[in-house]
A and B are shown apart, each in its own frame.
Chain A
């Protein structure tokens, strides 16, 4: 790795994301925010579990889900979490260039995941699973769609940061921003693991 050119002249503390009061505030607030998001997704999971057998003659989970497609999506999203970890490691090392590279990799993997999800929804709609066909359909699209909306927001957010700070180097201002974006990315990854289990595995096997 070409470390010599990427390290900024400013001497950064070991944890630049938590070095200032603003950074610490953001870090703590973001954990609280994720706590609230947990309740948000918990409510959606509860609704889905209550309604998942209410297919009312329409297509049901066993008719629709293909685990191979979902497995690929899961792998893509898990890998994107890994690349964002590499980005943070490089941030702590002061290697700004590799931070950008790994974050862009995260964005691209996120876009790939979204592409598969759009294909998936398109396919289900073709097989007769309209949004209002049954309570199962509504709760499935709402739970998975809310997750997809979070991925979309994450992609836009990280892209904005990458373009805005493409030349700035790591600073005490942008380190907390990248760090919270990565936290958010991990969170939507964890939510997807639950969706994979509760929606897809239970849908096909249970």
Chain B
């Protein structure tokens, strides 16, 4: 990868200031993977605490903190950033673009996410992490002593701003930056599902912003929103949180649906069955995702009418999801299936996710929900959909796109060990939790008593968690030992979409000439009906590229400084932080930067190297 503008600067400076969507994607991806490992370790600590009855491994307070951090980190700082990594890296390649619509905002989004994660984790060293659960229900959160919940509020607020920006960025990228011929109904399913995901981010995150704002005002600035003595109402938090929180779970699953819709056709050597139905099912899921938030609140006391309406709306989501499941099955039907690691994860996803979906319909039955609510049955349900759906999707994407992202193939043999250990460990951990829940074990408790028939199943569950931990270590080893597999990386899977039509590693300008897309699965069409390469939509010419910038780093840094000011109630620090942010924004506003041009000679030289 040669970059005439950046070659004179140091590597670290280049990565901090980069506006290249591929580098930002890799930053998101690797940071997310790191946070995934941290949050996974927290899960294992919890399972050790619950291995035997009345264990004193962690202690109640530490258990609550680890429980809160596991949930918060996994959702906001592991799963979402890893998907953002894929979306950043893959969307522009799949639609034949040279970058996202707003490279500067893209960089800013990453730094806001990273600083948000750092703020959240600093809490471990300043007297205790947040301890009110990832849902932070008031008044537990508004009355929680210490600074823990303040770190939760500010960390999520800072990273949430970044997420919102990235969502808008992807929306505009998909609408405005598509190559000639790439109509909306020719877009690969991963791009489509990322588009709907971005829509959900746009309309869901502001509700969280307000929820966190109210919590901050109550805890730090003397507000009375959740103070019942002053007329406050704690249910407002639950509504705001779930108006955000339910779309959030679709934000986590839709990109995974997209990945499976890429992986399954590729490894079945068949075009995706029912493409149009898939697109509309995705849109319907996205829409219904906003209509069902109160099913998290069946036991709050909303009354039978509200409960019934939200129960029916929730069950309706099973219809578009079912359409998707059958379309994947029919794509496989009669296909020439290759059992690569990516495809194994996709195949394992279908039954695992269906199990999570079935327990979801059970939970949606509002009358029965009184029995399931706040038991391990719920824990089993959402781990089946999040691990069986999102995490399997992530791992399928890891093995599928690794050659494109990093220029080498992961070992299939090690990958298969990883897959089987992870799959068995996952079911071992969470299948038994259904029964623990039905037997009455409440969630979010640090211990349980002996002699209640909970011992064996808890022990089995912990063993499964260990197995998943070992499996993850195999993945990390795989990443390091496979680095020499640099042959056959441009199109290792006989791919169907545009990202496989360009070299790996991808040149920084992506496409030497903007491709002309003639059909759905554009590259496959050219393989069948053309010469196997994309036709160019423009003559070879100079390419206009944006310049990197250090300003996003300072915008995010200023907000983080201000966050610490809020947490420790120091007006000076707040003002200094905001000044840094607004100064950087001011400079950005008044300094016009028109980017630079990649000369034709450099593009030609790259093409020579490729041959």
Contact = CB atoms under 8 A, between A and B. Distances in A.
A51 B237 CA distance: 12
Interface of A: 21, 24-25, 28-29, 32-33, 35-37, 39-40, 43-44, 46-47, 50-51, 54-56, 131-139, 142, 157, 160-161, 164, 173, 177
Interface string B183-220: 00000000000000000001111110111011001100
Contact of B233 (A51, A133, A160, A161): A51
Nearest to A54: B231
Contacts of A54: 230-233
Contact of B168 (A24, A36, A43, A177): A36
Nearest to A165: B590
Interface of B: 101-102, 164, 168-169, 171-172, 175-177, 202-207, 209-211, 213-214, 217-218, 221-225, 227, 229-233, 236, 239-240, 243, 586, 589-590, 592, 594
Contacts of B172: 25, 28-29, 32
A50 B590 contact: no
A122 to B, nearest CB: 18
Nearest to A44: B210
Contacts of A33: 168
Given A25-B176, A132-B224, A51 B206 contact: no
Contacts of B176: 21, 24-25, 28
A47 B224 contact: no
A205 B549 CA distance: 53
B231 A56 contact: yes
Given A142-B217, A160-B586, A50 B211 contact: no
B203 A36 contact: yes
Nearest to B211: A43
Contacts of A21: 176
A47 B589 contact: no
B269 to A, nearest CB: 37
Contacts of B592: 173
Contacts of B177: 25
A141 B169 CA distance: 32
A24 B158 CA distance: 28
Given A32-B171, A43-B211, A164-B590, A133 B206 contact: no
Identify whether the interface residues of B are mostly helix, strand, loop, or mixed: helix
12 contacts: A29-B169, A36-B168, A40-B210, A43-B207, A43-B211, A43-B243, A55-B231, A134-B230, A134-B231, A135-B225, A135-B232, A137-B224
B101 A47 contact: no
Given A29-B101, A39-B207, A51-B225, A135 B230 contact: yes
Given A50-B233, A135-B233, 17 more contacts: A32-B172, A35-B203, A36-B202, A36-B206, A39-B207, A40-B206, A51-B225, A51-B232, A51-B236, A132-B223, A133-B224, A135-B225, A135-B230, A138-B223, A138-B225, A138-B232, A142-B214
Contact of A135 (B202, B206, B224): B224
A32 B201 CA distance: 11
B225 A35 contact: no
A36 B243 CA distance: 13
A21 B101 CA distance: 9
Given A135-B227, A173-B592, A142 B233 contact: no
Nearest to A145: B217
Nearest to B100: A25
B236 A142 contact: no
Contacts of B204: 39
Nearest to B239: A46
B430 to A, nearest CB: 33
A194 to B, nearest CB: 15
A32 B210 contact: no
Contacts of B168: 29, 32-33, 36
A133 B230 CA distance: 7
The interface centre, meaning the residue of B101, B210, B243, B592 with most chain A CB atoms within 10 A of its CB, is: B210
Most buried by B among A55, A136, A142: A142
Contacts of A134: 224, 230-231
A199 B381 CA distance: 42
A142 B223 CA distance: 9
Q: Of A33, A46, A139, which is in contact with the most chain B CB atoms at under 10 Å from its CB?
A: A139
A161 B589 contact: yes
Contacts of B203: 35-36, 39
A21 B99 CA distance: 13
Contacts of B227: 135
A138 B224 contact: yes
Contacts of A55: 231
Contacts of A36: 164, 168, 202-203, 205-206
Contacts of A161: 589
A37 to B, nearest CB: 7
**What are the 5 A-B residue pairs with the smallest beta carbon separation, nearest first?**
A54-B231, A132-B222, A40-B206, A43-B210, A135-B231
A161 B263 CA distance: 48
A47 B590 contact: no
A37 B206 contact: yes
Contact of B101 (A25, A35, A135): A25
A44 B213 CA distance: 10
Contact of A136 (B102, B171, B221, B231): B231
A32 B202 contact: yes
B530 to A, nearest CB: 28
Contacts of A157: 589
Contacts of A35: 202-203
